[in-house]
Structure 1
Amino acid sequence: METELSRIGLTGLAVMGQNLALNIAEKGFPISVYNRTTAKVDETVARAKAEGDLPLRGFHDPHSFVLSLQKPRVIILLVKAGPAVDQTIATLAPLLDRGDCLVDGGNEWYENTERRAEAMAARGLLYLGMGVSGGEEGARRGPSLMPGGAAPAYALLEDVLLRTAAQVPGSGPCVTFVGPGGAGHFVKMVHNGIEYGDMQLIAEAYDLLRTVGGLSNPDLHRVFSDWNRGELLSFLVEITAEIFLVNDDLSPGDHLVDRVLDKTGMKGTGKWTVQQAAELSVAAPTIAAALDARFLSALKEDRVAAAAVFPPAAAAAGRPDKEKLVDDVRQALYAAKVCSYAQGMNILKAKSKEKGWGLRMGEMARIWKGGCIIRAKFLDRIERAYERDAELGSLLLDSEFAQEMAEREAAWRRVVCLAVNAGVGVPGMAASLAYFDTFRRARLPANLVQAQRDYFGAHTYERTDRPGNFHTEWSKIAAERSLL
């Protein structure tokens, strides 16, 4: 009896690839898998057998792998971004027929996706760049998926993605066709930038509660668990609460979090987000502050030396009221988080306008509500904001968010002032507050900056009382006045 052809293929069987392949198979879609390291193929096949005899077949050579797929063939690539993607395409593309489709599920730079899509189109092949968020657990149980590229390519595997993605009751599968070109990978990049901001803000809340408030790890577990039952309910707050429960097997009596080195790694998507914000002239200070915090964390030896040179700020008399501090930090965290998401959404809107992608902001919030790292109750509010006004200029201008920011402003300011006086850096919260204060000003000191630019570089300026561009001989007039 002839073996049935698989519905879809997947190559790249590290943890994410294995888990996504098993997820697809578990949803009832026969899948073929291939990896250059044959042991990974065998390992995945064994897992499929052990996890319920799932409809998954493994192949040790690319030719047999491709022939095992029903036409038009669809192959998901989950290999390391960059040259490895090009090498995998070079291996598979010659084996494919016109109308077949390749899907890059890595964290790829969106321009690489657009370059590859053009190259594949010239060969008659379809191409998608698909952001996949949720880590290894999300890949296995249901990730947030952000596919972008050619609409006909999405149509080829829409049924698979709708079943494979995270399912949120009342909201649906956490997947949508994002838009053309590299839109899918760009949206995933900004998702990761927002993730940087979220993680930094949570870390600052932890630092304040521990350093200034004197909360123990069990105290912090209770606080974050309580926060996760309210407006801050989210994956990141949930796992933060759990982290404080873990003891260190290597140092009995210690909590593991206290033994983790304070140097943060990164894979580049946060840096890309900040770079793109600058290219698009979109302010993203919270995300940039989170990136800078990671850079500073890498300077461990210099920071240790500086700690000896610069003594801690003089401590205030006594500890602050813990209950009041916890509530203030909660409000500050929420308000700063709104600013971070507002910045991320503005980056997406600006790029969509530049590229003509037609991104739907409400849909982006919807597909992030499950499966992904930034999944949170908070995203319901963002989705509703864009339902009220699809062209919303900023989340800060939405009526619900505006009211929430006003209600939390005083606590936010108290927290930032407390941190400054205690010598505890809160770059994310402070950057968010500065962003809020700058955005809410009807008139900024940029008039002086424009005057300075015109003075030294004849860059011209605009006036408040009449149209046009103007230039003034500032030095000449100033010299004349000085003689009077």
Structure 2
Amino acid sequence: MLNTIGVIGLGVMGSNIALNMASKGEYVAVYNYTRDLTDKLVEKMDALTINPYYEIQDFVQSLEKPRKIFLMVTAGKPIDSIIASLLPFLESGDIIMDGGNSHYQDTERRYDELRPKGIGYLGIGISGGEVGALLGPSIMPGGDRDVYDKVAPILTKIAAQVNGDPCCVYIGPRGAGHFVKMVHNGIEYADMQLIAEAYAFLRERLGLSVSEVADIFETWNQGELKSYLIEITAEILRKQDALTGLPLIDVILDKAGQKGTGKWTSIQAIDNGIPTSIITESLYARYISSLKEERVIAESILASPNMDQMHLDKTLWINYVKQALYMGKVCAYAQGFTQYKMTSELYGWDLPLKDIALIFRGGCIIRAEFLNVISEAYEAQTDLANLLISPYFAEKVTAYQEALREIVCEGMRSGVALPCLSASLTYFDSYRTGMSNANLLQAQRDYFGAHTYERNDQPGVYHTDWQ
């Protein structure tokens, strides 16, 4: 019997995707550039329908037509190399799916290169990490709709399921799937940083123990803040270090890494004039964390605020932190979905925003309780400019803004850095301001560069001889 689908790239994610497919009844051919990972997967197979191949030609010829090949390979040149090695053995109508974290513009280039050869190409965002890959991730496929339809029965079957619905939906043409995954990761960066800042305030300003903060996050995960990231934060804070007996969090070096997708999100937004300040601040927070040695030296030179810290009522301020975190998360998601909307309009993609929110509910890293509300907001108003002005969230942020102001001001007063919470408040205040200070910027630009300006009382373009 021929295999129904093939998987190339058998690292943790690729192996788990293959196991997921096999567990759902697919006959899966697998191939890896090096034999060791193939052999390692074979040991896990048991009775699953996974068939290993050690030559790429044998792998391709084992697949039923039209051939469906799923790549789980490191983004960049390795993808191009694998495609080049496949092409001599493929035929018109065959399909290649890239399930890695490729840049959406690379996906569009590959799509353009393969289409004249009759090879279907899908850029597929996958979120959920290794557990999601095995048990059901959130899947974001982009490319030609008719090509997607041929693989949809497999993709929807291996995706996470929420209330019987698969967390997989056709996103849009060309590189749309990988674009949606890229911005998903930008939202993830912001969400993680906001949680880290809430944790820092609770510990540094309120003086709570790790165990007390774990209790707080566990409680928050029972209400409107319920999400995967809040859940795992509570679990992280419960973990003890086997070597020292200390909370493990206290022995983890405070230098954050990143793999590029958050940076790509900010660059794309900057290139196209899309305000994603919270996402970008979360990226900068990771960058400054990497300056560990410099920060340790600076701590001995640069003094903290020279003032007595007033006593804070813990119950009141824990609630402030909760509301500030919720509002910060709403603002971050608002920026991410604005980036989806504005880019969709720029490229003519017609991204299904209400469906994107729904497929984020299961499997993926940013799954959260309020994604249902986000989906409902876009279903009620398909042309919604910004989540902040949807009725539900407008009421929430209006009610919670005072808490966010209190936390940001107290953080500044006491020297606790809160870059993303501060950026959230600035974004909110900037967005709700009908008359901004940009008129002065335009006057300055016209003064030194004759860049002209518009008037708010009559149409036209103007220039003033300021001197």
TM-score range, shorter chain: over 0.9
Equivalence for 1:213: 206
Equivalence for 2:73: 79
Deviations 1:103-127 (A, max 9, x none): 0001001111111111111211110
Equivalence for 1:422: 414
Deviations 1:294-342 (A, max 9, x none): 1100111111111111122245445412111111000000001111111
Letter in 2 for 1:472: T
**Contact 2:74–2:100, Cα closer than 8 Å, also in 1:** yes
- Distance, in Å, in 1 between the alignment partners of 2:311 and 2:291 is 30
Q: 2:61 aligns with which of 61, 67, 74?
A: 67
Q: 2:330 aligns with which of 327, 338, 347?
A: 338
Deviations 1:47-86 (A, max 9, x none): 121xxx1111111111111111110000000000000000
SS in 2 for 1:244: helix
- Distance, in Å, in 1 between the alignment partners of 2:87 and 2:178 is 21
Deviations 1:155-203 (A, max 9, x none): 1210001110000016x10001100010000000000000000000000
**Contact 2:309–2:414, Cα closer than 8 Å, also in 1:** no
- Distance, in Å, in 2 between the alignment partners of 1:250 and 1:98 is 58
Letter in 2 for 1:203: A
Is 2:155 the counterpart of 1:155? no
SS in 1 for 2:177: helix
Deviations 1:414-437 (A, max 9, x none): 111110111011000000100000
1:170-185 matches, cutoff 5 A: 172-185=165-178
Structure 1 unaligned blocks of 5 or more? 476-484
Is 2:28 the counterpart of 1:34? no
- Distance, in Å, in 2 between the alignment partners of 1:210 and 1:319 is 14
Q: Among all aligned residue pairs of Structure 1 and Structure 2, give the percentage whose two residues are the same amino acid.
A: 49
Q: 1:101 aligns with which of 91, 95, 100?
A: 95
Deviation at 1:220, TM superposition (A): 1.0
**Contact 1:214–1:319, Cα closer than 8 Å, also in 2:** no
Letter in 2 for 1:463: R
- Distance, in Å, in 2 between the alignment partners of 1:188 and 1:234 is 18
- Distance, in Å, in 2 between the alignment partners of 1:71 and 1:300 is 54
Letter in 2 for 1:407: A
Q: 1:86 to 1:468 in 2, by over 3 A?
A: same
Equivalence for 1:165: 159
Q: 1:54 to 1:315 in 2, by over 3 A?
A: farther
Q: 1:33 to 1:321 in 2, by over 3 A?
A: same
Letter in 2 for 1:418: E
Q: 1:114 aligns with which of 108, 115, 122?
A: 108
SS in 1 for 2:451: coil
Equivalence for 2:434: 442
Deviations 1:18-43 (A, max 9, x none): 00110011011111100011121121
Equivalence for 1:15: 12
Equivalence for 1:194: 187
Equivalence for 2:118: 124
Letter in 2 for 1:34: Y
Which has the larger Rg? 1
SS in 2 for 1:474: coil
Q: 2:219 aligns with which of 218, 221, 226?
A: 226
Is 2:393 the counterpart of 1:396? no
Deviations 1:269-312 (A, max 9, x none): 00010011111111111001101101100111111111111122
Q: 1:25 aligns with which of 22, 26, 30?
A: 22
**Contact 2:387–2:393, Cα closer than 8 Å, also in 1:** yes
SS in 2 for 1:425: coil
Number of equivalences: 467
Moved over 6 A (4+): none
SS in 2 for 1:258: helix
- Distance, in Å, in 2 between the alignment partners of 1:434 and 1:454 is 26
SS in 1 for 2:124: strand
Equivalence for 1:46: 43
SS in 1 for 2:36: helix
**Contact 1:197–1:340, Cα closer than 8 Å, also in 2:** yes
- Distance, in Å, in 1 between the alignment partners of 2:407 and 2:246 is 29
- Distance, in Å, in 2 between the alignment partners of 1:361 and 1:173 is 16
Equivalence for 2:197: 204
Is 2:137 the counterpart of 1:143? yes
SS in 2 for 1:465: coil
Equivalence for 1:481: none
Is 2:238 the counterpart of 1:241? no
TM-score w.r.t. the length of structure 1 is 0.95
SS in 2 for 1:413: helix
Is 2:251 the counterpart of 1:259? yes
